[in-house]
Amino acid sequence: MLNESRIKLMTRLASFETGEGKKSMAIGSYFRGDYIAKEIVKSIIYGTIAFGVVFGLYLAYDFELFMENIYEIDLWAFGKAVLIRYLITVGAYSIVTYVVYVVRYRRARRNLRIYNNNLRRLASMYRKEAKRAEMDKGGS
């Protein structure tokens, strides 16, 4: 027999699974540290590419001057200054990534907790229905 409240609960679960749940489940399959580390590594890669491109443009901007003075420039100091800027850029990008993805992980875990509670409720509904069916069978 159809159980209306069970169908409503199943509908809600199915709706979550096909919508927001997909992302939450993907995030929830990681430990917190692993997930955030993965995203920070991605950010470091993106940050490095972005810094490389911007540095390339910087060189192109003053290319003639740079080539004229290349033997007079203290390359060690220049390299150190570039490295410091790189670390600051990537560091800032990573900190923002950390904050954003901590919030996203927390939200996904909260959604999954609600989803799991609903699954437990569904299981208990099934148990109750089975028990009732058994009692009906015993009574008859």
Instruction: Please identify, using beta-carbon distances, which residue of 49 and 80 lies nearer to another protein.
Output: 49
Q: Least distance to another protein from the beta carbon of 4, Å?
A: 11
- Cβ contacts of 28 within 8 Å, gap of 6 or more: 108, 109, 112
Q: Least distance to another protein from the beta carbon of 101, Å?
A: 9
Instruction: Please identify, using beta-carbon distances, which residue of 80 and 96 lies nearer to another protein.
Output: 96
Q: Least distance to another protein from the beta carbon of 127, Å?
A: 13
Q: Which residues of 27-64 are buried (b: 16+ CB within 10 A; e: fewer)?
A: bbeeeeeebbeebbeebeeebeeebeeeeeeeeeeeee
Asked if residue 20 lies in contact with residue 111, where contact means CB atoms within 8 angstroms, the answer is yes
Applying CB under 8 A, which residues contact another protein? Answer: 2, 7-8, 10-15, 18, 42-43, 46-47, 49-50, 53-54, 57, 60-61, 63-64, 96-97, 100
